[in-house]
A = this chain, B = another copy of it.
Amino acid sequence: MKTHNALPSKRIPVAVLGATGAVGQRFIQLLDNHPWFEVVALTGSDRAIGQKYYETCHWILPTPMPERVRNLIVTPTMPVEINTPLAFSALPTNVAREAEPLYAQSGTVVCSNASAYRQEPDVPLMLPEVNPDHTKLVSKQQKDRNWPGFIVTNPNCTNTGITIALKPLYDQFGIKRMFIVSMQAVSGAGYPGVPSIDMLGNVVPFIQDEEAKMEWETRKMLGAYQDEQIALAEFNISAHANRVPVPEGHMVCLSVELQREGSIDDIAQAMTSYSAPVISRDLPSSPEMVIQLRSEPDRPQPKMDVMTGNGMTTVVGRLRKDPVFDYKMVILSHNTIRGAAGGSIYNAELLVKQNLLPQ
Identify the A interface with B (CB < 8 A).
22, 60, 62, 177-179, 181, 183, 186-187, 191-206, 215, 236-238, 240, 242, 244-247, 251, 253, 255, 297-307, 317-318, 322-325, 328, 330
- Which residues on B sit within 8 Å (CB–CB) of A255? 179, 238, 240
Interface contact B324-A205, CB-CB below 8 Å: no
Q: How many copies does the complex hold?
A: 4
Interface contact A238-B324, CB-CB below 8 Å: yes
- A160 CB, min distance to chain B CBs, angstroms: 18
Interface contact A236-B206, CB-CB below 8 Å: no
Known contacts: A301-B205, A303-B62. The answer to whether A178 contacts B240 by CB under 8 A is no
Interface contact B199-A251, CB-CB below 8 Å: no
Nearest residue (CB) in B for A194 is B196
In the bound complex, CA of A186 to CA of B192 (Å): 14
- Which residues on B sit within 8 Å (CB–CB) of A205? 251, 253, 298-301, 317-318, 330
Interface contact B240-A328, CB-CB below 8 Å: yes
Nearest residue (CB) in B for A306 is B62
Contact of A201 among B178, B201, B323, B330 (CB under 8 A): B201
Interface contact B192-A298, CB-CB below 8 Å: no
Interface contact A203-B183, CB-CB below 8 Å: yes
In the bound complex, CA of A179 to CA of B252 (Å): 14
Interface contact A191-B195, CB-CB below 8 Å: yes
- A305 CB, min distance to chain B CBs, angstroms: 7
Interface contact B323-A202, CB-CB below 8 Å: no
Interface contact A301-B193, CB-CB below 8 Å: no
Contacts A183-B203, A201-B302, A242-B253 supplied; 17 other A-B pairs, CB < 8 Å: A60-B197, A60-B198, A60-B304, A62-B305, A179-B238, A183-B183, A186-B195, A193-B196, A194-B197, A196-B198, A196-B200, A196-B245, A202-B301, A205-B299, A205-B330, A237-B323, A238-B255
